[in-house]
Structure 1
Amino acid sequence: MRSPLTYLPAPVRGVLACLALAANTVLCTLPLFAFALVKLALPFAFVRRRVDPVLHAIAGAWVAGNSLWMRLLHRTRWEVQGLPAPRSGWFLVNCNHQSWADIFVLQHLLHGRLPMLKFFLKQQLLYVPVIGLAWWALDFPFMKRHGKEALRRNPAKRADDHEATVRACRKFALVPTSVMNFAEGTRFTPAKHAQTASPYRHLLKPKAGAMALTLGVMGDKFDALIDVTIAYSPGIPGFWDFACGRVKRVAVHIEELPVPTEFIGLDYAGNSQGRKRFGRWLNALWEKKDARMGVLLGTAPAETMPQEFAGEPAEV
């Protein structure tokens, strides 16, 4: 049954959504910081194993609170295929990236089904008020994105992200975790699509580094690769549009794939042949994802995808 709040004007729903998000964030971050201080004061593995599940439970409550206001305020039609059964373990989650809404969509769908999602974040996001500290407390890895010119002047900076990934993966290995990767590295826009001369119709070129490094460091820990494709109608929403509930339809396809064993332990920086093989594998995955985007958006017939795509969407 639809909530009566969904009949409010869109700007009113947007304001209510932002207030609900802010209140939910403050209520959850206060106890989160308290337990994070314990972990900071006692930086031992046995302490982390006990404190991290508590931190994850608090973060899970934040995700559940966001799902609640989304259900109360939004009229969005969800069409989801391939929802995984609830389980624990370690998973590598890969998804296309179009909007800040992607994070809310992924958390809404996978909460309670997979362990907590942890994202690779740009270093600058550490300084976002409140939420930046929460990401730090939850051991989200912060990556320094060096431009080509900076790398040309100082090639040693290439090691920064490798070291950050290694440190993060060592922490991930202690507690069941879903490592989230947006292989495009940035949100899709028509301008970026044209600027990068992407060969894909609906996607930017994937960047192999973070995923390859993660598989190289802790690939033997992952139970599966969870590949997610998200499409929005009538168009890609900004945060305000999403908060206002102007997204009419979210179509999501989730596919569980085996972890490619040939890339476990791969020295991505030092093995040129392995780097090329990984690039070919990722490009093949992206070609399939691009075709799937066409089906989700209704611009390509479903017959163009394998039979596993067919079926009734799940309730979420």
Structure 2
Amino acid sequence: MYDACMKRALENIRGAVAVAGMVLVTLIGFIPLLPTSLVKLLAPWPAVKKPATHAVLWVARWWARGINACILGMGQTRVSYDQQVPDDPHGRYVIISNHQCWADVMLLCHVVEPQLPFPRYFIKEQLRWLPVVGMACWALDFPFMKRHSRAEIEKNPALRTRDMETVRRSCETFRDWPVTIVNYAEGTRSNATKRRAANSPYKALLPPKAGGTAFTLNAMHDVLDGVLDMTVAYVNTPEPKFWDMLCGRIDEVVIRVRRLDVPSDLLEGDYMGDADYRNRFKRWLEQRWAEKDVEVAALQDPRSSATRFAHVDSTS
């Protein structure tokens, strides 16, 4: 009992040190972030806004590296990769991924950088007001999404298209920049409670929301260099928690990234107005999700003999 308590205490100390490191990295990053963000906000000239955006991206890259050093260095979680990430830092890509834990966001940066452009995420509106991070997300042109309940939409049907309009405006901005657009198609982190509430047909995943993915592909299809499918699984951990990862209680995370062949007839369409197109797109995404669910469920189940995806290219 004493040994178990000591082990738990040391793990918590490790997690606290990791949090302190992340706070320090964030505060240091805020020093150059504030003036560059203000320049981007206030300058009326594109010739000034463009270098300001480059400066913000530079800060974001180094901030992400520092945060990942804290997460992986203190937690000492092994990350196993099976990836087909092209070496194209000036391209335009969409990544469709499942979402299990807050660590997913930073691990994705760790996977794609520096081969691909710095990722932009569809994030919840509430994060706009988070100190430092909210400003960074705004300066990086992250789309802020307002999630509405079914009851709210029934009361005000106009809300149904509001997020889609946000996607459209953001994609107009992204067309002119090298970018990796990340869509967590489930809309939130998957756990057993949420899966029961959503009546999910999957063991480990929530049902994907097809609208955001369809709108992004429709808006960007003529400038995209590729669509990537990312699968994240926390080995032997059905309910991964960020704190547990910081404390070193998660031994391994497996990440698979592969190029996704999207049928040409799904790259263009009217998702809201064409029921046939909408149903075809949903079926296509749900089939991808069913395949992903088998992989994730096998890796997360402590009783499973699976230890990682097949064809692992490298381990760090």
Same fold, TM exceeding 0.5? yes
- For structure 1, list consecutive stretches of 5 or more residues without a partner in the other structure: 1-7, 303-308
Alpha-carbon separation, structure 1, partners of 2:305 and 2:282:
28
Alpha-carbon separation, structure 2, partners of 1:289 and 1:104:
20
Contact 1:79-1:314 within 8 A present in 2 as well: yes
Contact 2:84-2:259 within 8 A present in 1 as well: no
Alpha-carbon separation, structure 2, partners of 1:23 and 1:30:
11
User: How much does 1:300 deviate?
Assistant: 6.5
Alpha-carbon separation, structure 1, partners of 2:110 and 2:289:
24
- Of 147, 150, 163, which residue of structure 2 is paired with 1:148? 150
Structure 2 CA distance for partners of 1:214 and 1:47, relative to 1, 3 Å: farther
Contact 2:235-2:299 within 8 A present in 1 as well: no
Alpha-carbon separation, structure 2, partners of 1:43 and 1:177:
23
Structure 2 CA distance for partners of 1:42 and 1:17, relative to 1, 3 Å: same
Answering whether residue 315 of structure 2 is matched by residue 315 of structure 1, we say yes
Cα-to-partner distance string for 1:149-200 (whole Å, 9 max, x where unaligned) = 1111111122211221111111111211100011011111111111211111
Secondary structure class of the residue paired with 2:218: helix
- Of 247, 251, 270, which residue of structure 2 is paired with 1:244? 247
The correspondence of residues 13-92 of structure 1 with structure 2, limited to 5 A, is 13-88=14-89, 89-92=91-94
Letter in 2 for 1:36: S
Structure 2 CA distance for partners of 1:38 and 1:294, relative to 1, 3 Å: same
Letter in 2 for 1:241: D
Structure 2 CA distance for partners of 1:44 and 1:207, relative to 1, 3 Å: farther
Contact 2:65-2:110 within 8 A present in 1 as well: yes
Alpha-carbon separation, structure 1, partners of 2:150 and 2:293:
27
Alpha-carbon separation, structure 2, partners of 1:28 and 1:75:
24
Q: For residue 272 of structure 2, what is the aligned residue in structure 1?
A: 269
Q: For residue 12 of structure 1, what is the aligned residue in structure 2?
A: 13
Contact 1:223-1:259 within 8 A present in 2 as well: no
User: How much does 1:261 deviate?
Assistant: 2.6
Say which is worse superposed, 47-56 or 247-256, in terms of deviation. Answer: 47-56
- Of 117, 126, 129, which residue of structure 2 is paired with 1:127? 129
User: How much does 1:45 deviate?
Assistant: 4.3
The alignment-based identity, stated in percent, is: 36
Alpha-carbon separation, structure 2, partners of 1:196 and 1:34:
43
Contact 2:15-2:75 within 8 A present in 1 as well: no
Alpha-carbon separation, structure 2, partners of 1:243 and 1:189:
19
Cα-to-partner distance string for 1:123-173 (whole Å, 9 max, x where unaligned) = 111111221111111111001111111111111122211221111111111
Cα-to-partner distance string for 1:62-108 (whole Å, 9 max, x where unaligned) = 11112222343122122211152432201101111111111122112
Contact 2:183-2:213 within 8 A present in 1 as well: yes
Q: TM-score, normalised by structure 2?
A: 0.89
Q: For residue 159 of structure 1, what is the aligned residue in structure 2?
A: 161
Answering whether residue 108 of structure 2 is matched by residue 111 of structure 1, we say no
Alpha-carbon separation, structure 2, partners of 1:54 and 1:315:
32
- Of 191, 194, 215, which residue of structure 1 is paired with 2:193? 191
Contact 1:233-1:249 within 8 A present in 2 as well: yes
Aligned pair count reads: 304
Structure 2 CA distance for partners of 1:52 and 1:258, relative to 1, 3 Å: farther
- For structure 2, list consecutive stretches of 5 or more residues without a partner in the other structure: 1-8
The correspondence of residues 217-228 of structure 1 with structure 2, limited to 5 A, is 217-228=219-230
Secondary structure class of the residue paired with 1:258: coil
Alpha-carbon separation, structure 1, partners of 2:21 and 2:172:
35
Letter in 2 for 1:245: G
Alpha-carbon separation, structure 1, partners of 2:169 and 2:44:
14
Superposed CA RMSD in Å reads: 2.1
Structure 2 CA distance for partners of 1:43 and 1:181, relative to 1, 3 Å: farther
Letter in 1 for 2:314: A
Contact 2:39-2:49 within 8 A present in 1 as well: no
